[in-house]
Amino acid sequence: MVSKSEIEGEKLLHHLLGQTQDFGGAFSCITGGMGGGKTSAMFSWMVYNLKHYPTQKIFFSETYGAPLQCFKLLSKIPKEKLHFLVMENSNVVFRDRKKHLQEVNLNTTHFKSIPIINEEEEVIGYKPDYQDLYDKSIPGKVNIVFFGNRLLWMDFMRFLRHTGDWVHIFIDELGEIVPAGTNGSNWKRVGSFANFAKDIRKCMMKVTCNTQAVRDSDYRVWDKFMFLVFLPGAMQDAKHSRVTQSAIDNLRANPFNEAYISSKGSFGKIVFTDVFNPTKDYNIEAYVPHNLE
Amino acid sequence: MSKSRQIRMTHEDTILSQRELSALMKRKIQSPVLNDKQREQLPTILAKALLSFGSESDEIFFTDDGVLNLGSLHTAILRLTDWAIAPEIVVKQRGIEFKVNISKLWLHLYNRCLDWFPKALGESLRYSKEVMKREESTGHNFSFEDKI
DSSP, collapsed to helix, strand or coil, labels residue B4 as strand
Check CB contact under 8 Å for B142 and A270. yes
pTM for this prediction: 0.72
Q: Would you say residue B146 lies in a domain?
A: no
Query: Is there a domain that residue B41 lies in?
Result: yes
Higher pLDDT, A171 or B44: A171
Q: What HEC string does A70-106 produce?
A: HHHHHHCCCHHHEEEEEECCCCCEEEECCCCCEECCC
Where in the sequence is the domain holding B83, given as residue range(s)? 11-132
**Digit-coded pLDDT (tens) for A227-251:** 999 999 999 999 999 999 999 998 9
pLDDT tens-digit readout, A172-207: 999 999 999 999 999 999 999 999 999 999 999 999
Q: Is the pLDDT of residue B20 over 70?
A: no
Tens digits of residue pLDDT in B67-122: 343 344 444 444 444 433 445 655 555 555 656 565 555 555 555 555 544 454 45
Give domain status of residue B2, yes or no: no
Domains of chain A with CATH codes: 4-287 (3.40.50)
Q: What is the dihedral of CA A52, A53, A55, A61, to 10 degrees?
A: -120
Query: Has residue B4 been placed in a domain?
Result: no
Question: Domains in chain B: how many in total?
Answer: 1
Phi then psi dihedrals of residue A132, to 5 deg = -65, -40
pLDDT band at A80 (very low <50, low <70, confident <90, very high): very high
Query: Residue A9 and residue B140: Cβ atoms within 8 Å?
Result: yes
Q: In Å, how far are A113, A139, B76 from A132, measured between CA atoms?
A: 9, 15, 66
Nearest-neighbour CA in chain B from A151: distance (Å): 30
| Packing angle, helices B119-135 and B36-56, rounded to 10 | 50
Q: Is residue B53 part of a domain?
A: yes
CB contact under 8 A, B144 and A48: yes
Q: Which residue of B has its CA nearest to A17?
A: B148
Q: Answer yes or no: is B140 within a domain.
A: no
**Per the domain annotation, does B117 fall within a domain?**
yes
> Measured between CA atoms, how close is A17 to chain B, in angstroms?
7
Q: Is residue B21 domain-resident?
A: yes
